[in-house]
């Protein structure tokens, strides 16, 4: 129960941040992605503002094994840079460039009652469903998914 209340709070704050920053507006996002046109650098400042706060948070989190509510710290430990990561990023980037919408702003625009955002989010969830189906099939064919060669060793 307390995890849900904290998550609701974080989700609200995240949504307010996207609204304040202007990132809930896909046209503004596209203004950032259009470097050959009139370029709006705002998105870089949003990332900068978020990362400054985030750096502090992760510095605190690194020293803990339990969260302040007593949950396990589930921070990803692996640092493989593999084909999946890059190909997934590229596919996502193409979709992002087409409409100017990534998952967070898509959900905020949906909440604002934008019909077009509903179509986007429905398609996005369908895409996630397709991914799960394909993954499920792949897993059934081979349990060992180690076709990755490009391995990054983190400098610890």
Partner 1 sequence: MIDIAWSSFTPWTALTGGALVGLAAASFLLLNGRIAGISGILGGLLTASAGNIGWRAAFLAGLIGAPGLWMLVAQLPPIEIEAGYPALVIAGLLVGIGTRYGSGCTSGHGVCGLSRLSPRSLAATLSFMFAGFVTVFIIRHVLGV
Site for partner 1 in 25-64 (CB under 8 A): 25-28, 30-31, 33-43, 45-58, 60-61
Least distance to partner 1, CB of residue 9, Å: 7
Least distance to partner 1, CB of residue 144, Å: 19
Report the alpha-carbon angle 141-144-146, nearest 5.
125
Q: Does 69 bind partner 1 (CB under 8 A)?
A: yes
Binding to partner 1 by CB under 8 A, coded x per residue (else -) over 72-101, reads xxxxx-xxxx--xxxxxxxxxxxxxxxxxx
Report the alpha-carbon angle 44-18-119, nearest 5.
110
For the record, the structure tokens of 53 come out as: 């706060």
Nearer to partner 1 by Cβ, of 52 and 144: the residue is: 52
Q: Does 148 bind partner 1 (CB under 8 A)?
A: no
For the record, the structure tokens of 80 come out as: 């493989």
Asked if 43 and 106 count as a contact pair (C-beta separation under 8 A), the reply is no
Out of 63, 128, 139, 148, the only residue in the binding site for partner 1 (CB under 8 A) is 128
Asked if 55 and 119 count as a contact pair (C-beta separation under 8 A), the reply is no
| Count of residues in contact with partner 1, rule CB under 8 A | 118
Nearer to partner 1 by Cβ, of 136 and 143: the residue is: 136
Nearest to 32 by CA among 100, 82, 98: 100
Nearest to 61 by CA among 48, 74, 51: 74
**With left for phi above 0 and alpha for psi between -120 and 50, is residue 113 left, alpha or beta?**
left
Q: Does 139 bind partner 1 (CB under 8 A)?
A: no
Nearer to partner 1 by Cβ, of 52 and 140: the residue is: 52
Least distance to partner 1, CB of residue 37, Å: 6
């Amino acid at each position: 129960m307390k995890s849900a209340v904290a998550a609701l709070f974080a989700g609200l704050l995240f949504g307010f941040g996207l609204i304040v920053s202007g990132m809930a507006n896909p046209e503004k996002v596209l203004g950032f992605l259009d470097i050959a046109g009139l370029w709006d650098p705002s998105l870089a400042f949003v990332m900068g503002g978020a990362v400054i706060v985030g750096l502090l948070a992760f510095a605190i989190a690194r020293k803990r094994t339990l969260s302040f509510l007593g949950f396990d710290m589930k921070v990803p430990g692996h640092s493989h840079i593999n084909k999946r990561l890059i190909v997934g990023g590229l596919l996502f980037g193409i979709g992002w460039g087409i409409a100017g919408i990534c998952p967070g702003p898509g959900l905020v625009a949906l909440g604002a009652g934008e019909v077009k955002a509903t179509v986007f989010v429905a398609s996005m969830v369908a895409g996630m469903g397709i991914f799960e189906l394909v993954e499920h099939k792949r897993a059934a064919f081979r349990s060992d998914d180690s076709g990755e060669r490009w391995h990054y060793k983190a400098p610890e």
